Each structure stands twice: as structure tokens, then as C-alpha cells.
Amino acid sequence: MQVTRAMAMVAAAKLRRTQTALVSARPYAEKIKALLARVAASVSGECVHPLFVQREEKRIVLVLFTGDRGLCGSFNANIIRYAEEFLHKNGRGVDLYCIGKRGRDYFRRRGGRILEQVIDLRGRVSLEATRRIASQLQGYYTSRSTDAVYLCYNVQVSAMISRGRIEKFLPLDPAAMGWKQTDAAAEYIFEPSREEVFAQLLPRYCESRLYAVLAETLTAEHSARMLAMNNASQNCEELIDTLTLRMNKARQASITKEIGEIMGGAEALRK
């Protein structure tokens, strides 16, 4: 019980840290998305960057976000189940980009095609790691090594509930991102060029989106671990109470038996 209580306290501290990172990243992510929406709407219908190019999805990269450790309830099992359903639906043309040991170990034992792995995050949101992952994923798509990139991660619905989600990361879909034709009323003069502007904005948008997903899944993981350890501590308390009651009953029975034997001996001596 002391171990599980300590683990719950550690998970609570990490949860507060990841929640702070998630909340702090939202203003930047929303602002760059709005900026990109206005600029992209002004060149609607024109292909100004390779990340906008839509291709037939013959080869897919699935980025799977799991934890490096267990003891967090059904957190890892649920998201692995979502990934298995995606693999079953899309056949053999899916490569796995595993972030977290649990997902990597699970699919390695079952012969999954693991393209890359990131297992050194230690439950923390890392901007450097996010940039490295985003750069790799963009490189896979622009080099035509893959036709689409999907993210598979947990979203925290409430303090006790998290749900799996699979969403497309690349290529970028203006309609899915909320870019409206009405935003095209303003005409922009691009300096030095449209291509250069998008070459700077799009990687930043991808990094901010991936950072938010990483913070979201780590928040869900720490919340699940804190809940699991609190439940384990409560089970320990109930077990201690049950064993204490059983021990007291056994001791009382032993005392009653000894008293009965003494009284029986005394009665025998009187006779």
C-alpha cells in the first residue's frame, strides 16, 4: 500500500505537469492554425506545398502512442486494440511508428512491421522529440515513402475516462482543418513567395499538432495510472481490514478455547 500510494503521488505530480504543458500549448496551436487557415484559403485550389497533395493510400504509417510502463489500468490495452482494428481494416500496407515501449513490445512479439520507435520520453512532453518526430513523418510523406500518416492515441474525456482516437495527420486536409472559402475574401501579398511562406508555416503547424497529441496522451496515461494506483491502495486497505478481522476472530476463538479448557480442568479438579 505504501508503494501504490507513492506511485499515485508521482503520477499526480506528472499529471499536473503535462496538463500545464497542454494548456500552455493551446494558444499557440490555435493561433497558427487560424493564421494558416486564412493564408491557405487565399490560395484555395492551388497546390503550394507537397503536404497538401492527396494520394491513393497504398502505404500508410500509423503513429501509435502508448506508455513506456504498465500499472495504468487499461490505458495501453485500449489503444493497442484500436491499432489492431486499424491494421486489420487496412491490410498489410501499414507500418508502425511506435512511441512508447508497450506498443513496440506488443507488436514486435506479433511480427508487426515497426518502422521507427521512440522510447526515451520518460513520461514527459519534449519539444525536441516532437520536432524530431514531426520532421521524420513529413520526410516520409514528401519522399513518397508513404501515402498517409495517421495518429492513434488516447484522449482524456474526464478524470476517470479516456478514449482511443485515430485521425489523419498527413496529408493536410483543408476541409478537415476548418478552412472555409469565406476566408478567401482577403488577398495577401506573399514575400518572398507563397511556397516559402508555407514551407515555414506548415512544419510549425505539424509540430504544434503533434505536441498537443503527445501532451494529450501523456495526460491520459498519468491520469489512468493515478486512478489505478488509488484503486490499488483502496484494495490494500480493504484487504488489511479483512485480514485484521480474520486474525481477531482467530485470536478470540483461541482465547475462548483456552478459557474453556481451563474451566473444564478446574471443574474436573473440584469433582
CATH dotted code for 7-229: 3.40.1380.10
Are 184 and 42 spatial neighbours (Cβ–Cβ below 8 Å)? yes
Q: Hey, what's the cell of 141?
A: 510523406
- Helix pair angle (2-41, 194-270), 10° resolution: 160
Domain boundaries, the chain: 7-229
Q: What is the pLDDT of residue 187?
A: 72
Please check whether residue 80 is in contact with residue 153, taking contact to mean a CB–CB distance below 8 angstroms.
Answer: no
> What is the pTM (predicted TM-score) of this model?
0.83
Annotation says 72 is catalytic: yes
SS3 171: coil
**Crossing angle between the packed helical segments 75-90 and 101-109, to the nearest 10 degrees:** 50
DSSP state at residue 50: G
Q: How do the pLDDT tens digits run along the chain, 271 residues long?
A: 999 999 999 999 999 998 898 888 888 888 888 888 777 766 655 666 888 888 899 999 999 999 988 888 889 999 999 999 999 998 778 999 999 999 999 999 998 899 999 987 887 888 899 999 999 999 999 999 999 999 999 988 777 778 889 999 998 876 666 655 544 456 777 777 777 888 888 899 999 999 999 999 999 999 999 999 999 999 999 999 999 999 999 999 999 988 888 888 888 887 6
The runs of H, that is alpha helices, within the chain are 2-41, 75-90, 101-109, 127-142, 194-270
Amino acid letter at 249?
K
Phi, psi for 153 (deg, rounded to 5) = -150, 170
Q: Catalytic residue among 72, 98, 152, 206, which?
A: 72
pLDDT of residue 189: 78
d(CA 77, CA 167): 19
